[in-house]
Structures are given as C-alpha cells and as structure tokens.
Amino acid sequence: MKKAILLICICLNLFATAQKKANLSLTGKATKTLSKNVLKDKIKGGWAGQTIGVTFGGPYEFRFQGTFIGDYQPLLWYNGYLKTTMVDNPGLYDDLYMDLTFVDVFEKYGLDAPLDSFANAYANAGYMLWHANEAGRYNILNGIKAPMSGHWLNNPHADCIDYQIESDFAGLMSPGMPNTASAISDKIGHIMNYGDGWYGGVYIGAMYSLAFVSDDINYIVTEALKTVPKQSEFYQCINDVINWKNKYPADWKQTWFEVQRKWANDIGCPEGVFAPFNIDSKVNAAYVVMGLLYGNKDFTKSLEVATRCGQDADCNPSSVGGILGAVLGYDKIPAYWKMGLQEAEDIDFKYTTMSLNHTYDVSLKHALQNIERNGGKINGDNISIQFQTPVAVKFEKSFSGQYPVKKIPVKWNDSKDEISFDFNGTGFVLRGDASQWDSKSDYVFNTQVLLDGKIIESPKLPVSATTRRHELSWKYELPKGNHTVTFKILNPSKEHNIRTDEAIIYSDHAVDGMQLNVEAAK
C-alpha cells in the first residue's frame, strides 16, 4: 500500500512539474528571487565593468582595422589609469554618457517617458556624435522624427554599432526580463538605428538582463540571441560565432578569421564600404561574444580577447566588461581591474551631472520600479522577479536589395559651388562634410540636390561639428539605369567650405570584384 501511495505521489509530482514547464512555455515567466544587496551589486558591476572596459580599450579604438592585436603587444593598465583617463580624455566615454542621457530622461519623466523626450535629449546635448547617432541627431534637428530618424532610407549608418554600445541601461533596468529590455530598445534604439544596428542593442540588453539570473556565459550568450529574428544577418553572424567557438574551443583567432572571411563586408556605412574600417553592429557584436565565450568568466582574458579583436576596440570590451560585471557583481570584479576606481566614482561623466556612484543608485531605483510593474514583488530585502523567456522582436532589414558596386571620384566645378556626376545603378551616397572641428561659427550652408534634373532635397549643412550632416546626400531604391546627380551650394562662403571626394554607387545585385577586374583588363 505504501509503495502504491508513493508511486501515486511521484506521478502527481511529475505531472505537476510537467504542467509547470508547460505553463512556463506559454507564459514565458517563472519567479527568480534575489536580495536587494545582490541586485545592487550586479547593477554596480554592470556600470563599473563598462567603465573599466572602455578605459582599457581606449588606446586601440579603430587602430586595428581588418587585423587583430598580436599577443606580443602589451595592453596598458595601471593604478590611477581610470581617474586619469576620465579627467584627461572624457570624450572616450561616449557610450557611457549616451547611456546616461537616457537614464536621466527616465529619472526626470518616469518609465513611461515619451519617445520625443529621449530623442530631443540626445539631439540637443552638447556632445559630439558619430555615425548612426550623428545622422539621427541631424534628422531630428531637421524635422525627421524618431523612429524614422534611424531608418536606413534616412540614415546611411542604420546598421552601425551606435545603439549597441549605449543599450546597457535597458538590460540593467530590466533584471531577468529580456523582453522588457527589448521593448525599451524598440522605443529608444530606433531613434538612431534600424535592422541589424537595432538588433545589436536588443541583444546586448538581453545579455545584461540574463546576467542577473544566470552565471553561465554560454546560456547568456545563446539564450539572449533568441530575442533576435533568425532570418536576420545579425542572428546568423552571432550563431556562427557560437558554432565556431565549439569548433575551435581554444583558438579565438581562428574564429576571428572566420568572422572576417564571412561577415566583414560592410554595405551600408559609407566609411566602411570597400574599406578595412568596420563599425558594423554584427561584426563588433561578434567580437563581444568572442570575448565572453573565450574568456569564460575570466575578467582579464575576456577584456583582452574583445580588445585584441580590433575595430571598435574600446566599446567592445566595454560591453564585455559590463555584462561580465553584472554576472560577477561589483564585489567580485578582480581588484586589479578596480585599481583607482573609487577615486573616479564621484567624477561626473562629461556632459552629464551623473557620476558612477549616482548612477548606481538611480539605476537600482529604475530596476526596482521596472520589476514591480512587470509582475515582480519587493518584500523588504527580498526581491521576486517574474523571469521572462526571451522572445524574438520583429524582423527588419536595412539596405534590402542594395549592393555597393563602385566608388567614383567627384570634383567641384571651377566656381566651387556645384558638383555633378553620372552613374548607372539604383542608388548613391555622396560623401562629404561641411563641418570644422574647431569652428565656433553657426554658419549653415543652404544646398540643393537634383536627380536627373529634378530637385529631390534641399539639405542645410551646418559647419558646427556637433550638428553636422556627415554625408552630403544619398538616395536608395532608384529605378535601375543611368542617372545624373547635381549638388549645388546656394550661399557660398569665403570663410567656410564643403569637402567631398567620392560617391558610392549602388546596384540591385552584387558584382564579382575579381571578374570585374578581369573584364576591365581585356
């Protein structure tokens, strides 16, 4: 009789477990419990890890393009380096003060702050921007509101790394809630990015979120990827890295070569087309994942691998350091990497009124608010989180059907107020810039762009480096055929000028470069 009762109990328990798993798969939620001290320690670890990582990688940012940093080259770190860098080179921390711009908006206007509050805060901030952030700012200041400010038709840098390096806050304020982090990224990430560029931020945010509920790096990397649609190139690239890590478990350089061979051809960013420079989101995210996987929770090895991969070699170890810092917690970040950190924690990041110590407290506050509004409970020092099973966000693709096929030289006419060029294809980007780095002038060039004799836009080009338009003009999805572009300056200036040297031409299919060279030689 006792055996029968025991068997029934076992069966009931197995049924209850199966039912619980079934309910979890449907709801995507389970309860995860941790103390408030642990939560704060992980949040502090996330912010401190970012700061350590970007400081460490700073001297190598884009110094190694299309190659990695050899083992024989030592990488700099010493006691006091953090404070010295924050004081003497505050512009290095653009991924941090961009993060904090959005954290500050949440603090001022609450978790339901409207989209325009985030867009306007960064568009009108005093710091310089680059690539997708810069194009997004220009769009907002010139009447193209978010989310269209980040769309690839309006932003040639839509797939660049920008939101990826500033999405940390979304995961840190969404512990164990990767889908909540994705919703935040949907709102803010589209201000400056689209497609793969947006997915970079979704993915980084999800890894931070999962760092609160697991210390298994493989789990964090693979589970977070479920937030990204499988048909996207971003997903395919990161999935490749995971598979290459399994194939070459002790050789990160072989995985680096595989990434370079398959994924390193940029088609969007004008600076990266047909060039070793690569600020593409998925490639740099691949280096982040390589740092995490090959580092295997060793803080030093993780930062070294991410840095030695090259390209955006400050932002990538910043992401690695932040995610790993959230996994380990502030207290378990090795003392070697926290040398001089306390001396820097009360220094406000440039362009902000927020220091690390202030950020720790504000970020904890936002995380607690977010936990409660998403079904969690706070009971004294005990915090229960409604853990979310990651769900893929919507699919979107930048530069669909657009392929760069060549660059052509573009020169001013004799009067220096007009450029004209002919091409055969489906799109173009006219590279150029009116800005001057040290200029205090508020002068704005009024210009006009004609395509096949018809005006297609009249862009205003500030000489200010903080409000500039980094490309003079672009247009995609044109009917394939012969086209003529004319760019005119309507108010020439004796004190200022507009620089340009080339146009990138797009077509509806890629060309075989080797075959093209053979045919040209005949």
CB 462 within 8 A of CB 142: no
Q: Is the pLDDT of residue 18 over 70?
A: no
Rounded to two decimals, what is the model's pTM?
A: 0.93
Domain-ending residue, one of 339, 356, 388: 388
Q: What does DSSP say about strands 444-451 and 460-462: parallel, antiparallel, or unpaired? A: antiparallel
- The answer to whether position 14 is within a domain reads no
CA dihedral 266, 271, 276, 278 (to 10 degrees): -60
pLDDT at 512: 74
Q: Which of 291, 288, 264, 345 is nearest to 47 (CA)?
A: 345
- The answer to whether position 359 is within a domain reads yes
Mark whether 355 and 438 lie in a shared domain: no
DSSP states along 359-419 = HHHHHHHHHHHHHHHTT-EEETTEEEEEEE---------TTTT-EEEEEEE--B-TTSSEE
Select the more confidently predicted residue: 415 or 336. Answer: 336
- The answer to whether position 52 is within a domain reads yes
Q: Where does 434-470 show beta strands of DSSP type E?
A: 444-451, 454-457, 460-462
User: Any idea which residue has 């995610």 for tokens?
Assistant: 323
- The answer to whether position 12 is within a domain reads no
- The answer to whether position 213 is within a domain reads yes
417: CATH = 2.60.120.260
Mark whether 380 and 458 lie in a shared domain: no
Q: Is the pLDDT of residue 25 over 90?
A: no
- The answer to whether position 9 is within a domain reads no
The pLDDT tens digits for 357-390 are 999 999 999 999 999 999 999 999 999 999 999 9
Q: How far is CA 168 from CA 61, 162, 257, in A?
A: 19, 12, 28
* Cα–Cα distance for residue pair 233/52, rounded to 1 Å: 30
- The answer to whether position 393 is within a domain reads no
Q: Which two tokens stand for residue 329?
A: 């917690």
pLDDT-based confidence at residue 416 (cuts at 50, 70, 90): confident
CB-based burial label for 496 (10 Å; 0-12, 13-18, 19+): middle
The pLDDT tens digits for 149-165 are 999 999 999 999 999 99
pLDDT at 436: 82
Q: Which two tokens stand for residue 459?
A: 């862009």
The pLDDT tens digits for 433-447 are 998 876 678 999 999
CB 435 within 8 A of CB 492: no
pLDDT at 29: 58
- The answer to whether position 340 is within a domain reads yes
Q: Is the pLDDT of residue 415 over 90?
A: no
Q: Name the least confident of 15-19, 278-282, 458-462, 504-508.
A: 15-19
Q: Which residues of 453-469 are buried (b: 16+ CB within 10 A; e: fewer)?
A: eeeeeebebbbbbebbb
Domain limits for position 450: 403-521
> Which phi and psi (to 5°) does residue 386 adopt?
-80, 95
The pLDDT tens digits for 184-218 are 999 999 999 999 999 999 999 999 999 999 999 99
The pLDDT tens digits for 232-251 are 999 999 999 999 999 999 99
Q: Does the N-terminal peptide bond of residue 404 adopt cis geometry, omega within 30 degrees of 0?
A: no
List helix spans (H) across 190-338.
196-210, 217-224, 233-247, 252-263, 281-295, 299-308, 315-328
